[in-house]
Amino acid sequence: MPPDIAAPDVAVTAARAELDRLWARGTAFLGCPVAIMGGAMSWVSERHLVAAISNAGGFGVIACGAMGPDLLAAEIAGTQALTERPFGVNLITLHPQLDDLIRVCLAARVGHIVLAGGIPPGAAVRAVKDGGAKLVAFTPALVLARRLIRSGADALVIEGFEAGGHIGPVSLMVLAQEILPHVHDVPVFVAGGLGHGEAILALLQMGASGAQLGTRFAAATESIAHPQFKQAFIRAAARDALPSVQLDERFPVIPVRGLVNEGVRRFLRFQAETRDRFQAGELTKESAQLAIEHYWAGALRRAVIDGDVENGSVMAGQSVGMVTAEQPTAEIIAELVAQAVAALAARHRAA
């Protein structure tokens, strides 16, 4: 066989082996062949998408969101009926029944619990660890990474400002430079704005053990998101996914990234009206703040489930620009892996 025909296969095989070495710590930790986690997305990350991600070799994560213990138990059982592969559960630390939710996960033998939405309370960390599950936590800075590891986190996720949903102020590229060179005790997964395998590869080469993606999976075939929600993702460019805007520093707004729509524009007007009513003495500061916080209640469900993408909350990362079609989950994962392998193989050939 002429060398120019045989050569690419050799390069691809070597590249795939190198990718497997690069994310070996992540795959060992997750217990799956591809160190790509499906970032938990409230309303979206339920049994079908979670099982599809795990069945495709990645690691699906159920978003508990506001679910109570019974609903969560049913969702875990439903997922276990669809996959024999490992998957995790994401719990919000502010949930009033956090302890019960942890018990539900442990009773169902969920191996990985992701605690999101703030620094996990000590009692929750102990409950997860004592119950034999692995604890995954988010860190927004190096000092907190160190503290989380000391308190028992088995893996960390660093999520950049580019991500969909609730966001911190720092980009993934800056977090990666700040944290990856200094954290060696536990695997670190990177998230936010990732949509292409070559970017994942670059972060693995910087020391990450794997990646977490949300937006690209939200538009997957197996995602139960409404067709209008998926179409909004397919139409959108990166610049359409913007953080929520706070009008007045006296009334803080939690930063959330999503597609700009009529609901977002109305939120600005609502903040202005609420502030004016406070200044006119019609509302106390507390009731004005509460009104602003309640504006988005139920809005994610309205967009994801009902398909009201004009008035609902269409949370999306800047990676939404890389969603170009509704694709089966297995195809998305295979594409990400192939892109990373192709980039590595091209470098081998050029060397």
Ligand X SMILES: Cc1cc2nc3c(=O)[nH]c(=O)nc-3n(C[C@H](O)[C@H](O)[C@H](O)COP(=O)(O)O)c2cc1C
Question: For binding to ligand X (CB under 6 A), which residues are involved?
Answer: 39-42, 44, 63, 65, 90, 116, 159, 162-165, 191-194, 212-215, 218, 315-317, 319
Report in angstroms how near the CB of residue 287 gets to ligand X at its nearest. Answer: 27
DSSP structure string for 245-305: --S-TTS----EEEE--HHHHHHHHHHHHHHHHHHTTSS-HHHHHHHHHHTTTTHHHHHHT
146 contacts 119 by C-beta, under 8 angstroms: no
Minimum CB distance to ligand X, residue 317 (Å): 2
CB of 156 to ligand X, least distance (A): 13
Contact of 85 with 111, CB cutoff 8 Å: no
Comparing C-alpha atoms, which of 178, 189, 105 is closest to residue 154? Answer: 189
Q: How far is the CB of 225 from ligand X (least distance, A)?
A: 8
CA distances in angstroms from 273 to 127, 255, 289, listed in the order given: 45, 20, 12
Residue placing its CB nearer to ligand X in the complex, 72 or 345: 72
Closer Cβ to ligand X, 41 or 333, answer by number: 41
Q: Report the distance separating Cα 320 and Cα 219, nearest Å.
A: 9
Of the two residues 38 and 57, which places its CB atom closer to ligand X in the complex? Answer: 38
Which residue has the CB atom at the shortest distance from ligand X?
A: 214
Closest CA to 165 of 315, 303, 309: 315
CB of 91 to ligand X, least distance (A): 9
Cβ nearer to ligand X, comparing 55 with 215 = 215
Note whether 121 and 96 are within 8 A (CB).
Answer: no
Nearer to ligand X, 18 or 162 (CB): 162
- From the list 164, 167, 166, the residue with the least C-alpha distance to 175 is 167
CB of 241 to ligand X, least distance (A): 8
Q: For residues 320 and 215, is the Cβ–Cβ distance under 8 A?
A: yes
Cβ proximity to ligand X: between 62 and 345 the closer is 62
**HSE on the CB side for 257, CA within 13 Å?**
26
Question: Which of residues 25 and 226 has its CB atom nearest to ligand X in the complex?
Answer: 226
Nearest residue (CB) to ligand X, 44 versus 201: 44
Q: Considering the complex, what minimum distance in angstroms separates the CB of residue 290 from ligand X?
A: 22
Cβ 234 to ligand X, closest distance in Å?
14
